[in-house]
Amino acid sequence: GNSVTQMEGPVTLSEEAFLTINCTYTATGYPSLFWYVQYPGEGLQLLLKATKADDKGSNKGFEATYRKETTSFHLEKGSVQVSDSAVYFCALSRSGGSNYKLTFGKGTLLTVNP
Partner 1 sequence: SAVISQKPSRDICQRGTSLTIQCQVDSQVTMMFWYRQQPGQSLTLIATANQGSEATYESGFVIDKFPISRPNLTFSTLTVSNMSPEDSSIYLCSVRDRSMNTGELFFGEGSRLTVL
Name which position in 7, 11, 17, 102 contacts partner 1 (CB under 8 A): 102
- What's the rounded Cα separation, in Å, for the pair 97 and 45? 24
Q: Going by C-beta distance under 8 Å and a sequence separation of 6 or more, which residues neighbour residue 69?
A: none
Answer for the pair 76, 45: CB distance below 8 angstroms, yes or no. no
As measured in angstroms, the least distance from the Cβ of 77 to partner 1 is 21
Q: Which is nearer to partner 1, 34 or 62 (CB)?
A: 34
Q: Which is nearer to partner 1, 17 or 102 (CB)?
A: 102
Q: Which stretch binds partner 1 (CB under 8 A): 18-26, 41-49, 66-74, 78-86?
A: 41-49
| DSSP one-letter code for 67 | B
Helix, strand or coil, per DSSP, at residue 68:
coil
Name which position in 7, 44, 58, 67 contacts partner 1 (CB under 8 A): 44
